Amino acid sequence: MLENDADSIKRAGDIAKSIEIPPQPGIVIKVNEEVRQADPDLKKLTDLVNKDVALAAKALKIVNSSFFGLRQPAKSISQAISLLGLNNFSRIVVASSLEESLNFKGLDKEAMARFWRHSLLVASVSDLIARKVYSSSPTPAEFKHLLDHAYTLGLFHDCAIPLMMRKFSDYSDCIPTALAGIWSAQQSEVHSEEMKYGASHCTIGYIVAKSWRLDPDICECIKHHHDHHIGDHDDLNKRRLLANLLLAECTVEILTEGISSEIEDNLSALPEELIFELDLGKDDIANIREKISAIVDEPD
């Protein structure tokens, strides 16, 4: 697929102009700028988020969901920052802003609920896997790039789906395949989207990610997240990010679709390429499964 990137992106760019891709909200820029400061001002961060009442409410809803597993619910933005830390909180601001930006009127509510739950699940599992890889490695610095970007990639990988639904009235029929993991989704399905609509959710998602000024490797991985030939990518950081995302999707699909009740029994069915890129073993996979079962099984 890599050799066709230029043509795919050009077609997607033409379609994106008519979709009206939402720009990155100013609050995301401001929060990220403050978090990157040597000595972030917590009161300034709290005030920034509280100025947007809808965003603050969405952020607290995510903070108190099963995805973060807090023992006691956060009752305020300042308490959320205290409980989760700056990096996790900034991710929640991005997630809340993304949900708000993609909350278009008239879209199928059930389909959107499925899309959003999938995105949050994959983001959370991506982060969990990346943390396991980082903590288990004898040379963790090699996986710092993965640790920093796994959650955001998981959150944004399917971000174009609501835009495709908004643009094409029959795109809802494609959602099961678009959300499917490595077990069932094939690159041919992405090609079918390109033939039918002129672009796939992968390439439109790439354009959204670029417009939100996400890391270039995240943008590239979004573009190729249904292309399971990881070896086609020369860049090691890109391969690891993509492997982490595909493993997260695979894991979520196993646990939510009932393909198997035990990841341990299906380790041989997981693509060896993913395991190799992340330097994981059977015990690691079992440990990951145990930690995320509560997230998957518990209602929001």
How far, in Å, CA of 296 to CA of 151, rounded? Answer: 16
Q: Is the separation of the CB atoms in 155 and 95 below 8 Å? A: yes
Work out the average pLDDT over 5-14. Answer: 78
Q: What is the pTM of this model?
A: 0.86
Split at pLDDT 50, 70, 90, the class of 77 is very high
Percent of residues, the chain, with pLDDT higher than 70: 87
Give the mean pLDDT of 180-184: 59
Give the CB-side neighbour count of residue 29, counting CA atoms within 13 A. Answer: 7
- CA-to-CA distance for 119 and 39, rounded, in angstroms? 31
pLDDT averaged over the chain?
83
The terminus-to-terminus CA distance of the chain in angstroms comes to 37
Q: CA of 39: how far to CAs of 90, 197, 271, in Å?
A: 15, 48, 43
Domain ranges of the chain: 2-21+108-297, 23-101
Mean pLDDT value of segment 162-190: 78
CATH code for the domain defined by 2-21+108-297: 1.10.3210.10
